[in-house]
Structure 1
């Protein structure tokens, strides 16, 4: 169910920056290509699939629907490797340069040429699951140490997946935002390096690198669509870094007629929706509980907010049942579509489209029709297999095998 909505008055919202420099972080196609030059050298890099869903598009009444499936990204289950691991590599490169006077290549870092320096570095972050897994994976690839802070609502399966990569996992009371503050305090005390995907006063450069890594997704999509231009992009949002990175890259790539951008948040943690109403970054409080664990964030990223404020055409908040229904629809395939495995946060953007199309007046206000070309990004697969089975009624591994047998 759609439980929250804000439609900005375009006449009074701030104008979008005219260049990449105006966004406040490394934004746009050129920066995305620079990140690709690094990430494409990692083992197992491949562009993730852009899955057409004509059956669901017909059911909803839009012209075309594409789902970017990030679940296979570096076998980590989500898009996050493009941000956290990329930032760990950039950070280690800077540290090695400062300590040795030599600028290492990415290949040298991955080959362990500076293993002694890397072994003296500890990176840390707070996470709802996927970002911490990415940071831990990046640290393991490069020979660094990692400490990942999780809050009390993070499931055991997600914590175990992080620990399996060699990280020390520390569970804390409170929310994700409490864990963010604890990670910074502990890093200051221990001499560690925070690799956070949210920014706050005095901390912006590394979140900017992470957003630059995320923007690679937008460039892959542009390559995959070719001459076809999306008219609407539905983007799930936690602190806003992912959404801002994709918006900024696509707004620049498709100027002067960019797609309409719609953010989707959990009703219990809709900090961007609250910020839109207030016209400034605004935190929401409470336990923030939602099955959309990766989006359970109460405080927007100060680095992401300006781009979101300038580029968002609608802010949506959804209840958890909308997510469950969308996960089940993807798993069974609609109107002949191939089944798709989507995790709770991964299904959120598409769930937002489904709710909007169920409201003809709202769909009309957003210009959605049978002529529209709509994009949703499946940011995660079944990163908590037990929860996926509970919601969908089938094991993700069982469904994957059935899909492989049908090919």
Structure 2
């Protein structure tokens, strides 16, 4: 039988990070601490597991694999629960403070003290699914209207999950980046507030809050590890997840922070192209990747400011190794704990397995039998129909 990992077409560009203070300045320790204090006070908060995969580590030839499993997060199925809902509260806090002329606390918003005012503030965003679900959940909790834009390839299951949380969901014919543009345009026209996980010129506070929320996940992982990992492999997308994790790891571990490897679908490799050119670079999406949450052609400028200083390697991966990795995890084929993970969650693990099947690539990334690798399992099963098809043997959905 052909080994899809050994045959995977991986592409790698190595860069010399431009050392600076972005990991402390763009996302400050105070940003992370503020998000931690708020999110850990929410009903239902519990740390998600950091799962060791010793069987798989031994099989592929690395020292240790730690997989941060975000499937249980707040019952929403992904790490995005930490970002969109928190950023929504912060947008409301700023706007209510302006309207009322006095400081407003997040606890009071959460507690319903401003429910009537919140009902008059519409929050909106574009999404591939998980960010929108988080925003809809956050809006539902405080009574704010929510309008979500999705592109043509977002599954109806994911769309319905947002409707079930009270969101008005608008589907467009174009791709993710087109949905971002429409969300911005209609928000400007109607006086709504965009809560995006990507930044652009003149728009920074909400994506900063989104990334600060993600820091809860990274702090949990760091507190569960005795020693710093040697490597971390992070999914691309617009770069918000990767930049947040890289910044927190630098703040927590200092000079011992791990080597940062960014991996992306070869169908949506905007960070890879940005690394090659040295500036944020937009790429066209000609064909959607199975990894719906990573189908992004335009990088976040704020995220790139961190990644250009923290990431040493950028890798692209094919869709062909995603489904096999999901089945490997779910079936516990290596004797490890069984983990049900979504398509975007396994990007780092799929890349690691493929890299270790290709000695030249492993050497280029400094991965060997002593390596201790941290992976972010960013989502659980957020679309049961897609997951079921993959478990039944489908490699494309």
| TM-score normalised by structure 2 residue count | 0.94
RMSD: 1.4
Please tell me whether residue 17 in structure 1 is matched to residue 44 in structure 2. Answer: no
1:5 Cα deviation (Å)? 2.4
Displacement of 1:127: 0.4
Displacement of 1:251 in angstroms is: 1.6
Q: Partner of 1:261 in structure 2? A: 260
Deviations 1:74-109 (A, max 9, x none): 100100011100000111111221122232322221
The corresponding residue for 1:144 is 144
In the other structure, the counterpart of 1:26 is 27
After superposition, the C-alpha distances for 1:25-77 in whole angstroms (9 at most, x for unaligned) are 3244x432221100011110111000111111111111111110001111001
Question: How many correspondences in the alignment?
Answer: 387
Alignment match, 1:279: 278
Q: What is residue 299 of structure 1 aligned with on the other side?
A: 298
CA distance in 1, matches of 2:332, 2:136: 34
Q: Aligned-pair distance for 1:18?
A: 7.1
Match of 1:59 in 2: 59
Pairing 1:146-165 to 2, within 5 Å after superposition: 146-165=146-165
Equivalent residue for 1:80?
80
| Preserved CA contact (<8 Å) 2:11 2:315 | yes
Q: Which runs of 4+ in 1 moved over 6 A?
A: none
Distance 1:105 1:205, change over 3 A: closer
Q: 8 Å contact 1:288–1:296 — kept in the other structure?
A: no
Corresponding residue of 1:331: 330
Query: Whole-Å Cα distance in 1 between the matches of residues 46 and 285 of structure 2?
Result: 40
Inter-CA distance 272–18: structure 2 relative to 1 (3 Å threshold)? closer
Report the alpha carbon displacement of residue 9 of structure 1 after superposing the two structures with TM.
3.7
3-state SS, counterpart of residue 126 of structure 1: strand
| Partners of 1:72 and 1:78 within 8 A in 2 | yes
Counterparts in 2 of 1:73-112, with a 5 A limit?
73-112=73-112
Paired position in structure 1 for 2:388: 389
Distance 1:350 1:95, change over 3 A: same
Is the contact made by 2:22 and 2:306 (CA closer than 8 Å) also made in structure 1?
no
SS at match of 1:274: helix
Match of 1:7 in 2: 13
| Cα displacement string for residues 235-287 of structure 1 (whole angstroms, at most 9, x for unaligned residues) | 11100011001001102211112101111111100110111111111111133
**Match in the other structure for 1:171:** 171
Displacement after TM superposition at 1:319 (Å): 1.2
Alpha-carbon offset, residue 202 of structure 1: 1.8
Unaligned ranges ≥5, structure 1: 395-407
How many angstroms apart in 2 are the aligned matches of 1:352 and 1:249?
22
Secondary structure of 2:244's match?
helix
Q: Which runs of 5+ in 2 are unaligned?
A: none
8 Å Cα contact 2:49-2:69 kept in structure 1 = yes
Post-superposition offset of 1:4: 4.3
| SS in structure 1 of the partner of residue 37 of structure 2 | helix
What is the rounded CA distance, in whole Å, between the counterparts of 2:313 and 2:373 in structure 1? 15
Q: What is aligned with 2:307?
A: 308
Cα separation, partners in 2 of 1:114 and 1:241, compared to 1, 3 Å: same
Task: Return closer, same or farther for 1:18/1:206 CA change in 2, 3 Å cut-off.
Answer: closer
In structure 1, the partner of 2:194 is: 194
TM-score by length of 1: 0.92
**Residues 124, 194 of structure 2: 8 Å contact kept:** yes
